[in-house]
Structure 1
Amino acid sequence: MADLFDSGGTKEPAHSTAPRPLADRLRPRTLSEVIGQEQVLGPDAPLGVMLASGSLSSLVLWGPPGVGKTTIARLLADETDLHFVQISAIFTGVPDLKKVFEAAKIRRGNGQGTLLFVDEVHRFNKAQQDSFLPHMEDGTILLVGATTENPSFELNAAVLSRAQVLILERLSLKDLERLAQRAEKELDRNLPLTGEAREALLEMADGDGRALLNLIEQVAAWKVDKKLDPEGLSTRLMRRAAKYDKGGEEHYNLISALHKSVRGSDPDAALYWLARMLAGGEDPRYLARRIVRMAVEDIGLADPQAQSICLHAWEVYERLGSPEGELALAQAVVYLALAPKSNAAYVGYKAAVQLARKTGSAMPPMHILNAPTKMMKEHGFGAGYAYDHDAEDGFSGQNYFPDGVARPDLYQPVERGFERELKKRVEYFSKLRQRRG
């Protein structure tokens, strides 16, 4: 059974004339032929150091599709003379795993180690992941897992403690161009594209090398009289949808990027991330809610109008719908990015929550309690309360915190926007309070 998962898989029948896919024909034969991923494969990078020292350990390769995870795993086996076995967590159950482990034990007894490559390793449940541990610890297998999901959330802590996580990145346009040139050499002809159309083709791949090679195979098969421009290319090829998981990690990555771009006063970046999320199919109402949150958290009272503008943009979207209403959200994002920033009220409220938890059920001071009954008045409720409107400057300076609770400075306005004025008022009342205390 284990041999079904071994390197090479099922051999193609001798009579088959089906051409090998371009992606398979261009699969690197050595690690030095891998395009991109220098941050992992370079001489001073983790894998480069491991191989140079002969101390390869179990790994988890984390990255988007088409960046070389399977290729790197296969080449690692070649570099280390380990027997390469590949399985997919989607199609492999516990009985299959047991057979793989038994075959690896036999090889180990014969003096050969096993590099077990597990594609989509995050698909295994906790019990299945735990089954790898004893075989990793005794050296029966060297595990190389591949995943497109964040290992911190998807893999057991025990597995992560025994494997080093290496992050693979989307291929850059420069990397994709190198791959395209390699494909043209393999095909022995240039792609019938203008320079702009060629760049558009690379962008369609969205950092996925395998996707680019599939696109190149299509383009190379066309019979055209002249080079195609971007418009001619787009009529023949559908643009590849950008990777976006509305309920997953990508969703949280992009909303974080949008929020931090607004906080960083960069309207161009904020518009870009807003457009990315909308293009990925994000619910505009979710974005409208988060935009209001940004106004509350990061602009605050430095620009009291910001909240109203965001709420109004939300209302405009509800009236117009998509795509017209999305422009209102874009305008709100630009306004927030360029607005003066303050999180003073946000920080003050969090400090107030902590103080409230610390002080428990401490009562307000007696002089600010109501005394609706004769008995309560006799017990001192409301006694000594100073009505501020009757005081000089409309300010009595009385204490409103529970007895025994030192007065904190929870709200500390900044020297930006409207909070400059609020800061003057805070300081004004503070001085009056000191004089009358």
Structure 2
Amino acid sequence: MAGLFDEVTETLFANKTVLEEEYEPDTILEREDEIEEYKDALKDVLFGRNPSNVMLYGKAGVGKTAVTTYVLDELQQATREREQADTLYVHRHNCNDDTVFSAVRALVNQLLPEDEKQFPKKGLSTADAREELYAQLERVGGTHLVVLDEIDHLAEADDLLYELPRARANGHLDAARIGVIGISNNYTFRNQLSSKVKDTLREEEISFSTYDATELRTILYDRAEKALVDDGYTDGAVGKAAALAAQDTGSARQAIDLLRKGGEIAEREDAATIEDDHIDRAREEVKRGRLRDKIADQSLHARHVLEAVAHIEHNGDTPVRTKDVMKTYQRIADERGDDPLTTLKSIQNHLSDLQMLGFLIRHEVNKGQSGGYYYTHELDMEPDVVFEACNELDKEDAV
């Protein structure tokens, strides 16, 4: 009896991992200026001096994390070869929906010896966690760079960004030095920090612009050459993937996803080469997948608010005012068995965040003295995408 996979003998992909999100390229393309800025910001580490604090800003998929990984790997290698430099340790933590306590706890647990018990999740304060962090940094010694990804999602980030850079000046550290590298998609994050934190950080800022079509073509040709078989793609397909991504988000991640998905569609149709048409169809599949991922990143109540707007949009009743969104939101929360938020302000905050993230379109309405001033909202995507994503996430939450 023939096996299910017996007919699968060839593939367009020579090394598909090159097109996956976790792939780390040996060479970073089209980010020479940002790498040079990074190098200048961190060069004091080579001489045993206190590292500068660095903040990176830019949309998702524009190379912030890849450049950080590349620069810090190079810096660690350089410190091993320089007598003046202390041993360099790099600690990474993603701050999405995190508290200061859990972030500090994660850093402590990275530093603890393998045979030592992990720092507890409950029963101790943020001050206790911070004291343990300083103790572990002193035990290890050397220079430490703390990379905080999605730092704009960290609750009460002021506290951490005020304390860590001042640890040595305040006498908490002597044998160790510490610097903070923050990575944010939100260009206005610094404006949200208190003046004392800004004065303490004195950080170097590196801004990552979106890629244009020419830059994305350079990146895609490099990936295609490594990931696909000879003659497995056309110049037109690479150009179209680059152009579509440049027009949409300017994200290398999106361009690479389009090429990967185009290859998968071509394989399903037994095509020997990825053509323009495969990229066109890949665009819709990638768009829906990325929107689902973005929805999954939102908090439970933000998803309920988004779903409420989607239902109102589906019924043809948008743009809609906040008070009407709240009624539908509370019904959805009740149906899901979740305690709904009870203030109009909380719904306004979620709508504002969803608009900033690109889920919603917000309109200003000014009816003068008689009607007042207010906002209305409508969905900036197809309602079905929201329904499908929320239903899938509800099933996952129920498991």
User: TM-score, normalising length from structure 1?
Assistant: 0.45
Kindly indicate which of the two structures has a greater share of residues assigned to strand. 2
Whichever of the two has the greater Rg, that structure is 1
TM-score, structure 2 length as denominator? 0.49
Q: Tell me which of the two structures has the higher relative contact order, counting C-alpha pairs closer than 8 angstroms and 6 or more residues apart.
A: 2
